[in-house]
Structure 1
Amino acid sequence: MQSPHHDPGFTVRLAGTGVRADDAGSAPAGKSFARRRRNRHGRGLRGELMLPTLPAYRTRAERFDDMVLDSAQRLHDIWGKTLDGVRFAVEEIPPRLEQLVAEATTAPMGQYAPATADEGPVITLYRRVVEQVCGSREELQDLVHDVVVEHTAEMLGVAPETLDPVYRRRY
């Protein structure tokens, strides 16, 4: 999941894994997949079950991460240095979701955390909440972009319409 335009100050962090999008292709610690394959009955090593050209090769979570990366990259292309140091994260569900459901409040689709002394600002999207609202892949892509735009606009203190000219004009 690498961006076609790599900028040193622009990162997308996948929350919970501690892995940056630039490092997502490297092998995890422990047994690698190549060592786990078996030579069953002397017929050679097993091949891939799903070819990379087929739609089911990538998981829903990986496709969602790509949508967030595309939206963040689009905003970065428009605004440039203004968004340097901003991190975009994806988490499965918001913290304390059970408490929100018990109180009958709607779960947030994303969150903006201002910069601290240790790290820059972080915009987090909650994958399951956003996916639950959408009925199709096109709606999901539009909603992901809108959530990214809304929280980035909150961070910059501007209206979302001024941040991205096509904000909410696709429906």
Structure 2
Amino acid sequence: MRGPLIPPALPGWRTRSQRFDESVLMTLEHVERNLGNELDGLEVGVEEVPPSAPAPWEVGAVPLGRYFPADSAAGLPHRIVVYRRPVVARVEDEVELASLVRDVLVEQIAHMLSRNPEDVDPDYRA
């Protein structure tokens, strides 16, 4: 028998990075439902690892995500990046992964909006 063992329509066909991206998108959709149009223009991305040069405030820890403010002079919108490998390294299963992705995104969005994370998502756990 030749061909794939798992048909492309089944969830097992997706790679780990595709499942991670889906988790980020689902979390973002959840937060957008709570905040409405406050996130218009926000770009969210996923990178494997953070750059080797840490930000000045990132002393002694590997960041799980970063917020980059908008730069109107360069035409760049607000951006949030979630780093896949540091997040995945801290969890044991898909449930913990979804929870940690939610916490990272909520914290970064709260930072962007200058709010408490609990105001962004009532399900946030400190």
- Coarse TM-score class (shorter-chain normalised): 0.7 to 0.9
- 1:103-142 aligned at under 5 Å gives the runs 105-117=60-72, 118-142=75-99
**Structure 1 match to 2:105:** 148
- 1:30-109 aligned at under 5 Å gives the runs 47-96=3-52, 105-109=60-64
Cα drift, residue 162 of structure 1: 1.0
Tell me, what secondary structure is at the counterpart of 1:150?
Answer: helix
Tell me, what secondary structure is at the counterpart of 2:45?
Answer: strand
The separation in 2 between residues aligned to 1:54 and 1:163, in whole angstroms, is: 33
The separation in 2 between residues aligned to 1:55 and 1:78, in whole angstroms, is: 28
Q: After TM superposition, which residue ranges in structure 1, 4 or more long, deviate above 3 angstroms?
A: 46-49
Question: Which consecutive residues of structure 1, in runs of 5 or more, have no partner in the other structure?
Answer: 1-45
Normalising by structure 1, report the TM-score.
0.65
- The number of aligned residues is 120
Whose RCO is larger (CA < 8 A, sep 6+)? Answer: 2
CA deviation string 1:94-129 (max 9, x = no partner): 0007x79xxx82200000000012121000000000
The separation in 1 between residues aligned to 2:40 and 2:102, in whole angstroms, is: 18
The separation in 1 between residues aligned to 2:43 and 2:32, in whole angstroms, is: 11
What is the RMSD computed on CA atoms of the aligned residues? 2.0
The separation in 2 between residues aligned to 1:73 and 1:79, in whole angstroms, is: 10
The separation in 1 between residues aligned to 2:77 and 2:95, in whole angstroms, is: 31
Cα drift, residue 78 of structure 1: 1.1
Cα drift, residue 59 of structure 1: 0.4
The separation in 2 between residues aligned to 1:65 and 1:55, in whole angstroms, is: 14
The separation in 1 between residues aligned to 2:41 and 2:23, in whole angstroms, is: 19
